[in-house]
Structure 1
Amino acid sequence: MLYYKKKIIIIKHINMKKFNFYNFLNLLKLESIKIEKTINLIASENYTSLSSIIYSSSCYINKYTEGYPKNRYYSGCKIFDIFENKSIIESQILFNSFFSNVQPHSGAQANASAMFSLININDKILSLDLKSGGHLTHGFKKNFSGKNYNIINYCLNKNNLLNNKNIELIIKNEKPNLIILGYSSYQKNIDWEIIYKIAKKNNCLILTDISHISGFICSGLIKNPINYSDIVSSTTHKTLRGVKGGILLSNKRKIFNKINNSVFPGQQGGSISNNIVGKYISFKESNNFNFINYSKQILLNAKIMLKTFIYRGYKSMSIDTVNHMFLIKIENNSSFYIEKLLEKNNILLNRNFFPNDLKSSKSPSSIRIGTSSITTRKMKNKEAELISNYICDLIEKNKFSNKKIKILCNYFPIYK
């Protein structure tokens, strides 16, 4: 934590007398060592390739590229125009879309721009309740979405599944201007076509946020919602395994210009030029058979891990998952405590709301587990089962040698 006191910057937990530029380099080295020795099960994270890292750290970090190709507000963008156009084309090929905007700095800004493109401030949005697996940018009261729009929610049913009939009833009664699909902790598929038909009958627009499942969609493992949505938004760094950022896609020609205007100048100024170059590399890497096989292994690892937890007596939203993530209910302990206990033993994951959760966000009723990062390390069936058992042993016995984790990590390096 940084704060100012008598014009001296004080950083808690760091001895400033011994702190200099070389210590910053040491911190970077420490972080790179730490990630190599850590099992990362955070569903929102992944490890991008060295090529993407190199290109996203290129000289374009210095270039201001406000505007769009051939229509910039600063000179010297001719070569970058080629990169951005290539990134646009690669993303269109990847998601079978007619339109792509690769400039959003993040998934949150992509969602904000999508909403600005489709509806007006104070219009009504229907979205999944946060405790049922929705996302902050889909209408949480402290987020821009909850502050700028009139939010109503739908929830999962008793079996922790989406209820299309209930969604239809809410749309008919409430007449929302927009429905948001796509979630941050849901283990099942969504029937895009049924909800599309319901929405269109009631003049309701559709924003589909595929941030967590974009890698499976471009691999053909999950149905593409591009033809059943007005706008599709996504991050580029989760199952897509790219550099951090956002993207907007659409096949609705009437709103292409609205989307571009909502991103710039509506939502942000200059693009992060170096990141767009990194996105281009990431999109190229995702458009081949190796990536499809990688995506299939993510799914298999998730299924094996969930099956192991259930065998050990734990409850989840469902006995199966069709994507990279699942929730495990923590019955007799604090999820906050479990998260920190696992972190001490070189395992990262995050605490998460369980459907109809009565606990607070500080220590909700479950933990969320994702398998993208361990699959990037080429871990497969045996490793997925081992890691699940390690976590169960830690939760139940509170005794564990993290040497087992370090040995596993050494055998499956990230960048070495």
Structure 2
Amino acid sequence: MNFYNFINLLKIESIKQEKTINLIASENYTSLASIIYSSSCYINKYTEGYPNNRYYSGCKIFDIFENKSIIESQLLFSSLFSNVQPHSGTQANFSVFQTLLTKNDKILSLDLKSGGHLTHGFKKNFSGQIYNIINYCLDKNNKINNYNIELIIKKEKPKLLILGYSSYQGKIDWKNLKNISKKNNCYILSDISHISGFICSGLIENPINFSNVVSSTTHKTLRCIKGGILLSNNEKIFNKINSSVFPGQQGGCISNNIIAKYISFKEANNFNFIYYTKQILINSKIMLKTFLYRGYKSSINETINHMFLIKIQSCSLLIEKILEKNGILLNRNFFPNDFKTSFKPSAIRIGLSAVTTRKMKNLEVELLANYICDIIENNEKKFNNKIKILCNKFPIYK
């Protein structure tokens, strides 16, 4: 592939993003400033180690950037300690496991089909292969039941309880679950990857005081570039976590990304970001309400974050592909207690972060929900132009 073909592919992707509606809950659009700083000359610099303790020379200026990123993230999450080096949420979680657990230790986590995550114990993931995984499930109302979790903890005596989910739209009672875990000598890892933007805005309770460690990705509701972060108020544990990140499981950090993380943390430490996350919640509730009005079933009839599940009677994979042809991106997903396979599960997952970044509000998201319902019900492919008109009215970067 020559250079001009490569540039052309980038242009095609850029146009595609501008001309499609993104309802994938794990995605968002980072700022132009973050993109610029992530493409800086620090792409060239190897910065292995931590500030003032590097294994290569020439890192004094980068030490300033990383320290600023650490401080900004501490302010954002009211945390005493922060590590901004993990390349991803997966590597952040792996570092926690290395710190708190030994091989075959028990982990208690939400079942994948109930809304758990691959790195929380899926059998084909490292977490499920190295550790002894016990799952809790949602109750009959598709909600997390603290009493059920307590019964399992008392019986199984896990060493780690994981809180935080990839497709759960309800509340988490951090305080009560901490009390349960503390009585049974069980650590808590709160994986806030999907809700970190709401937590730093004060819209969802901060689990930092109820957890031994908090992990997160940075590219979902936090609206940063892709990466991971680790937080804690326990100095002893966090010193071990730092050693687990480096040199335990990754070498040099991605220097340019850490600078971009700092920019995004700074952007999130702002009243405008609070207004943004509040609008996400409004948009999410309006879109869910529209689906319910049209006769669709969700796992629960409310959402306190950016996402929700909608049960599909027909093939969810087919619906995903038809929506994509109409310019709408989302993903098929398990519904609680799903009996279908991961290739063709029973639901679709919808997230409102990216369209809210485009400044779409109440009317637009209600319109989008009705478009999606019409496409599902009529198997139609005539909405592409309507989607393009909506995208042109709400550009990402123009």
SS at match of 2:162: strand
Match of 2:339 among 358, 363, 372: 358
SS at match of 1:112: helix
Match of 2:222 among 210, 229, 240: 240
Q: Which residue of structure 2 lines up, in the alignment, with residue 386 of structure 1?
A: 367
Match of 1:210 among 175, 188, 192: 192
Amino acid at match of 1:378: K
Q: Aligned runs of 1:37-76 on 2, under 5 Å?
A: 37-76=19-58
Q: Which residue of structure 2 lines up, in the alignment, with residue 31 of structure 1?
A: 13
Amino acid at match of 2:224: G
Q: Which residue of structure 2 lines up, in the alignment, with residue 113 of structure 1?
A: 95
Gaps of 5+ in 2: none
Amino acid at match of 2:330: L
**Deviation (angstroms), 1:84:** 0.2
**Deviation (angstroms), 1:21:** 1.8
Q: Aligned runs of 1:194-233 on 2, under 5 Å?
A: 194-233=176-215
**Deviation (angstroms), 1:401:** 2.6
1:371 equivalenced with 2:371 (yes/no): no
1:349 equivalenced with 2:330 (yes/no): yes
1:82 equivalenced with 2:64 (yes/no): yes
> Are 2:89 and 2:193, in contact at CA under 8 Å, matched by a contact in 1?
yes
Match of 2:275 among 287, 293, 300: 293
Rounded Cα–Cα distance in structure 1 between residues aligned with 2:211 and 2:98? 16
Rounded Cα–Cα distance in structure 1 between residues aligned with 2:379 and 2:146? 42
Q: Which residue of structure 2 lines up, in the alignment, with residue 267 of structure 1?
A: 249
Rounded Cα–Cα distance in structure 1 between residues aligned with 2:154 and 2:35? 47
SS at match of 2:143: coil
Q: Aligned runs of 1:311-326 on 2, under 5 Å?
A: 311-326=293-308
What RMSD, in angstroms, separates the aligned Cα atoms of the two structures?
A: 0.6
SS at match of 2:247: helix
**Deviation (angstroms), 1:20:** 2.4
SS at match of 1:292: helix
Match of 1:151 among 110, 113, 133: 133
SS at match of 1:340: helix
> Are 2:213 and 2:232, in contact at CA under 8 Å, matched by a contact in 1?
yes
1:99 equivalenced with 2:81 (yes/no): yes
Q: Which residue of structure 1 lines up, in the alignment, with residue 261 of structure 2?
A: 279
Identity %: 78
SS at match of 1:258: helix
Gaps of 5+ in 1: 1-18
Rounded Cα–Cα distance in structure 2 between residues aligned with 1:71 and 1:125? 34
Rounded Cα–Cα distance in structure 2 between residues aligned with 1:298 and 1:163? 26
Rounded Cα–Cα distance in structure 1 between residues aligned with 2:365 and 2:44? 42
SS at match of 2:355: helix
The normalised TM-score by structure 2 is: 0.99
> Are 2:371 and 2:383, in contact at CA under 8 Å, matched by a contact in 1?
no
**Deviation (angstroms), 1:32:** 0.4
Q: Which residue of structure 2 lines up, in the alignment, with residue 338 of structure 1?
A: 319
Rounded Cα–Cα distance in structure 2 between residues aligned with 1:143 and 1:72? 32
Rounded Cα–Cα distance in structure 2 between residues aligned with 1:177 and 1:398? 48
Amino acid at match of 1:156: L
Match of 1:190 among 172, 185, 192: 172
Amino acid at match of 1:102: V
1:305 equivalenced with 2:253 (yes/no): no
Give a deviation string over 1:375-413, Cα, whole Å, max 9, x none: 000000000000000000000012233110000000000
Amino acid at match of 1:32: S
Query: Which stretches of structure 1, 4 residues or longer, exceed 2 Å deviation after superposition?
Result: none
Amino acid at match of 1:336: L
**Deviation (angstroms), 1:253:** 1.6
Amino acid at match of 1:391: I
Rounded Cα–Cα distance in structure 2 between residues aligned with 1:349 and 1:199? 36
Rounded Cα–Cα distance in structure 2 between residues aligned with 1:26 and 1:256? 45
SS at match of 1:176: coil
Q: Which residue of structure 1 lines up, in the alignment, with residue 112 of structure 2?
A: 130
Rounded Cα–Cα distance in structure 2 between residues aligned with 1:319 and 1:256? 38
The normalised TM-score by structure 1 is: 0.95
Amino acid at match of 2:331: N
Rounded Cα–Cα distance in structure 2 between residues aligned with 1:278 and 1:148? 33
Rounded Cα–Cα distance in structure 1 between residues aligned with 2:189 and 2:96? 7
Rounded Cα–Cα distance in structure 2 between residues aligned with 1:178 and 1:165? 17
**Deviation (angstroms), 1:117:** 1.3
Rounded Cα–Cα distance in structure 2 between residues aligned with 1:403 and 1:145? 44
Amino acid at match of 1:121: K
**Deviation (angstroms), 1:90:** 0.1
Amino acid at match of 1:328: I
